[in-house]
Amino acid sequence: MRHSSAGLNVVSLLAMLFLYGPIFVLVLYSFNAAHLSMAWRGATLKWYAALMHDEALLAATANSLLIAVVSTIGATCLGGLIALGMDRLPGRRQLLIEGTLVLPLVIPEVMMGVALMLFFVMLNMPLGLTTVILGHIVFNIPLVTIMLRTRLRKLDPALGEAAADLGASSWQVFRYVTLPLLRPALWGAILVAFTVSLDDFLVTFFTAGPGATTLPLKVYSMIKSGVTPEINALSALLLVLSMSCVGLALHLQRREV
């Protein structure tokens, strides 16, 4: 543009710096040899090595992975079926379902956490891995449904109709036409659900009992008990993990044209 101003570019650059600066500093300092001070004392991998020997941390990692895998499978099945089923319902009912699914995404997560905790406690269910998984499925279902639904609506109905005209049963239309076309979106949804579950703090915080510590809960308690270089290392690992999951998910989404 003729009048694009340098001022705009400067502010944008500052905004980008603002977004990435803290992450960069965090990762950088996870390699800092100094124990307590922020002064740079040379690069080291010892904080990462220390993580490998932390039994509680390894247990938390195992919990996190178990919760993420199970809740992703559950939410993908349940949420995927909603996306496929609701397409055939009358418009008003679709709106109602959409509203119900948007609600968990907009209400404050702390509220979802306390509501689930209250529910489980009133049912006398002991808080633990099971309750965390049940809760994670709740916030992942809407994500999966919305991602698959967006993709479904972009597909050309003529493809399915052609298959039906050629004598395919509705199952065959799904198996040989819809599913292959949905596959990139499906993988995208799986990766996003997995990442969100892995990163979740609040719902887990309220629904996990003492025995179900996850990585974010562990990070939280480490932060609360004092800033140490190990947290930097663990944080850097979590950042890399979720960034690669999401990068992959977005890559898959992009390919589906």
Going by C-beta distance under 8 Å and a sequence separation of 6 or more, which residues neighbour residue 161? none
Based on CB atoms, which residue is closest to other proteins, 59 or 125?
A: 125
Based on CB atoms, which residue is closest to other proteins, 50 or 97?
A: 97
- Which candidate, 34, 61, 21, 49, places its Cα nearest to that of 229? 34
In total, the chain counts a number of residues equal to 257
DSSP state of 177: I
Question: What sign has the CA pseudo-torsion 121, 221, 113, 193?
Answer: negative
Min CB(58)–other proteins separation in Å: 18
Based on CB atoms, which residue is closest to other proteins, 66 or 238?
A: 238
Min CB(169)–other proteins separation in Å: 9
Based on CB atoms, which residue is closest to other proteins, 46 or 254?
A: 254
The answer to whether 233 touches 48, Cβ cutoff 8 Å, is yes
The answer to whether 78 touches 137, Cβ cutoff 8 Å, is yes
Min CB(160)–other proteins separation in Å: 5
Min CB(237)–other proteins separation in Å: 9
Dist CA 149 CA 146 (whole Å): 5
Min CB(54)–other proteins separation in Å: 17
Based on CB atoms, which residue is closest to other proteins, 45 or 159?
A: 159
